[in-house]
A and B are shown apart, each in its own frame.
Chain A
Amino acid sequence: PHCCVHAKSAARSDLIPSIKLRHCCLLRNQRCIMAYLYDRLLRIRALRWEYGSVLPANVRFHMSAEEVQWFSQYKKSLASFMRSLGGGAGLDITQDMKPPKSLYIQVRCLKDHGEFEIDDGTVILLKKNSQHFLPRWKCEQLIRQGVLEHVVS
């Protein structure tokens, strides 16, 4: 490191071990921080697959500005990749993470979630302990969020 060169030239060779030690510590700290930041990025990437493209406010609160920016760039990358699939027709690969066994599934509502609107405009009232039989793709989001529970009977 630069300090070692200085030490040599200033004839303070006895300082060289301390310098080397400190340098190693700094490098180690740097590695730790990098590992931590990288792990955060991996988790943020996983959030896209879990929550979809809009993150809940309490999650975003814990992200730094740079991470938010990274997330939106990742989103864009993923979106353009998905658009390019299927010969330009596009395919949403974040659906059906596990191989689906049936087209429609029975779900049970675990907590009061109020009204829930699905893409075709129909509204469902999600009251605690009500059960519904709906197309799989409409429920997946809510199942991941823990509002609905897939009932296998």
Chain B
Amino acid sequence: MFVTDIRKDFYEVVANQRVALLVAADIDALCACKILQALFHCDHVQYTLVPVTGWQDLCTAFLEHKEQFRYFVLINCGANVDLLEMLQPDDDSIFFICDTHRPVDVVNVYNDTQIKLLIKQDDDLSVPSYDDIFRDEEDEDGDGDDSGNESDGGSEPSGKRRRFDEGAIERRIERQRARREWEARRREILFDYEQYEYHGTSAAMMFFELAWVLTKDTKDMLWWAVIGLTDQWVHDKITHMKYVTDIATMQRHVSRHNHRNEDEENSLSIDCMRISFEYDLRLTLYQHWSLYESICNSCYTSCSFKLWTLNGQKKLQEFLADMGLPLKQVKQKFNSMDISIKENLRDVIEESSNKYGMKDIRIQTFGVHFGFKNRFLAGDMVHAAAALLESTERDESDTTDNFIKALDSLSRSNIEWLHSGIDLAKKKLLAIQQTVASCICTNLILSQGPFLYCYLMEGTPDVKLFSKPLALTLLCKYLLRAFVHSTRNKRCKLLPLVMAAPKDVEKGTAIVVGIPPESETSDKKNFFGRAFEKAAESTSSRTLHNHFDMSIIELKTEDRSKFLDALITLLS
């Protein structure tokens, strides 16, 4: 069921209890977790935090902790499956689920006792009504007598009932027909409801709202909420409209926080945290890199210029010349650029970008500023934390270490981690750009009819980076965008993309990701989740649907071709 009063029905319930937090491995979940932890610290709520990377982890964590905890809070996992069926908990376990995954499983919506959804009921849900899906067996009163005969479609009626025959048989037939109709409609409704996967409002924003309702919100929590929202935008989980709407919501909170202390000028010490609204450039990490490198490695600019072609390189030089930016300056570290250049940079770039067909070079976002040296945009934090979360630097199979590092990097006291995250993010972006360039230039993306397909071979440089879901999804998105800009085939521009990369060479597994087609007005709804399931079933391929996003699966490399064929047939 949906929780209507998050303070009364959630926070006050757990405030005197010990809680188990099961947190998924994405940045929005990490931010939501930080906010909730801060609230719990404030009110001395004892908790245990367990990172979970997939359904298997979730089940294991639940089994390990079910004896000790009655209340479980699940962040960014659990809403889109029948949780009670999966975990088989005791009757007194209660689950609070704050998850952006949609659609929410109907059982979770209509369970009144054990599942409490920390989701707003109007959050773009369109849940089917109860009567359309569930039918009380008690309505089948009259069938009780006839039930024995239903299966054989009416055996010889016994002598006693001959009087009621005609009427009874007619009524029974009518009921059966109505039931079949109802069931057909139910299948249709459920199919429509569950066909497309998408994402709802950020979990971090939900918890920030809780903090606000409790009047315990701080600037740190506000910043984490902003990062959570930005994560959804960076990883293409929400539509542009929704992003802009949510930014406006956050802007109201930011204004409120900023007006608190601005009585006189310079009333705040330089070390205090300041969050400001920025209409900033869509150049990833540009303030921590050189402007030139950022332009070359940001998806938006790289695809608009087509920087993998010679022509594209020339256009870039023209673009820089047009703005009057000397190459020497532009290739320097951003902080070392001349002040005179940095002053109007955003406006200058926006003007020139318009000439080169890039109308949306600027995007609404927020930045943070504390101390003399520390300025970060929300996007920087997302990229840094995501790089730390999926770092393959140390050859460990222990993903929880990375989780802890990424979680720590979000705190202001762990600036070194943040900087190391930014370095990793730069390497990751470079790798993505190089891979995109090579895929486009060697025509590795093939049209399979209903979708585009690309497979990263084992020897590809940096292929280890792309064995992780977030990195592969980012690569997928950039690749599709680049492809759309480079192909002349009008039909291919509207196709979705499926990408496969080797995951574990020893075990012979690959990771497969599907993303919806690239378009300005895309609603980001992804049908690959169900499609993958069906394709795997029909070919009995050995797949592992472990990730919380159904559109990301693991597959045995040997089964790749038959799986692909089934997918093509399914979607044609």
Q: Which residues 117-135 of A have a CB within 8 angstroms of B?
A: 122-125, 127-135
Which of the residues B47, B68, B408 comes within 8 Å of A122, measured between beta carbons? B68
Contact status A124-B48, CB under 8 Å: yes
B540 within 8 A of A: no
Q: Indicate with 1 or 0, residue by residue over A94-124, a CB within 8 angstroms of chain B CB atoms.
A: 0000000001101010000000000000111
- B179 on the A face (CB < 8 A): no
User: Does the CB pair A125–B65 fall under 8 Å?
Assistant: yes
**Contact between A129 and B401 (Cβ–Cβ < 8 Å)?**
yes
* Interfacial chain B residues near A134, Cβ < 8 Å: 46
Partner of A133, one of B40, B68, B400, B413: B40
* Assembly CA distance A108 to B407 (angstroms): 12
Q: Is the interface of A mostly helix, strand, loop or mixed?
A: strand
Tell me if A106 and B41 are in contact (CB < 8 A): yes
Contact size range, A: 10 to 19
A153 on interface, CB distance cutoff 8 Å: yes
Residue among B49, B403, B404 making CB contact with A132, cutoff 8 Å: B49
CB-CB under 8 A from A129, the residues of chain B are: 51, 398, 400-401, 403-404
A65 in the interface, Cβ–Cβ < 8 Å?
no
B16, chain A: closest CB distance, angstroms: 13
Closest CB in chain B relative to A45 CB, distance in Å: 34
Residues of B near A104 (CB, < 8 A) are 41, 44, 46
A122 pairs with B404, CB closer than 8 A: no
Residue contact B400 to A128, C-beta cutoff 8 Å? yes
Query: Who on chain B is nearest to A138 by CB?
Result: B46
Total A-B residue pairs with C-beta atoms closer than 8 Å? Answer: 52
Structural contact, B18 and A122, CB atoms closer than 8 A? yes
Find out whether the CB atom of B41 lies under 8 angstroms from the CB atom of A132: no
Residues of B within 8 A of A103 (CB): 44
Q: In the complex, A152 Cα to B41 Cα: how many Å?
A: 12
Give Cα A131–Cα B47 distance, bound, in whole angstroms.
8
Residue of A nearest to B50 (CB): A130
Residue numbers in B under 8 Å from A127 (CB-CB): 50, 64
Q: Which residues of A contact B37 (CB under 8 A)?
A: 106, 133
B67 within 8 A of A: yes
- Size bracket of the B interface: 20 to 34
Contact between chains at A130 and B68 (CB < 8 Å): no
Does B111 touch A at the CB level, under 8 Å?
A: no
The answer on a CB contact under 8 Å between A124 and B68 is yes
Contact B47 A128 (CB under 8 A): no
Residue ID in chain A nearest B34 by CB atoms = A153
A103 to B44, CA, bound (A): 8
Known: A152-B413, A153-B413. A128 touches B398 (CB 8 A): yes
| Minimal Cβ-Cβ distance residue in A for B68 | A123
- Interface contact B48-A132, CB-CB below 8 Å: yes
For residue B361, give the distance in angstroms from its CB to the closest CB of chain A.
36
In angstroms, Cα B400 to Cα A130, docked, is 8
Min CB distance B273 to A, Å, is: 14
Q: How far is the CA of A132 from the CA of B37 in the complex (A)?
A: 10
B398 contacts across to A, CB distance below 8 A: 128-129
- Across the interface, which residues of A come within 8 angstroms of B411, CB to CB? 153
A152 to B413, CA, bound (A): 9
Asked if B456 is at the interface of the complex by the 8 Å CB criterion, the answer is no
- A152 to B37 CA separation, bound complex (whole angstroms): 12
Can you list 21 pairs linking A and B with CB atoms under 8 Å apart? A104-B41, A104-B46, A106-B41, A122-B18, A122-B68, A123-B67, A123-B68, A125-B64, A125-B65, A125-B68, A127-B50, A128-B398, A129-B401, A129-B404, A132-B47, A132-B49, A133-B40, A133-B46, A134-B46, A153-B411, A153-B413
Binding site for A on B (CB under 8 A): 18, 37, 40-41, 44-51, 64-65, 67-68, 398, 400-401, 403-404, 408, 411, 413-414
Q: A residues bordering B, Cβ < 8 Å?
A: 103-104, 106, 108, 122-125, 127-135, 152-153
Given contacts A128-B398, A134-B46, 20 further A-B contacts (CB under 8 A): A103-B44, A104-B46, A106-B37, A106-B41, A122-B18, A122-B68, A123-B68, A125-B64, A127-B50, A127-B64, A129-B398, A130-B49, A130-B50, A130-B400, A131-B48, A131-B49, A131-B404, A133-B47, A135-B46, A153-B413
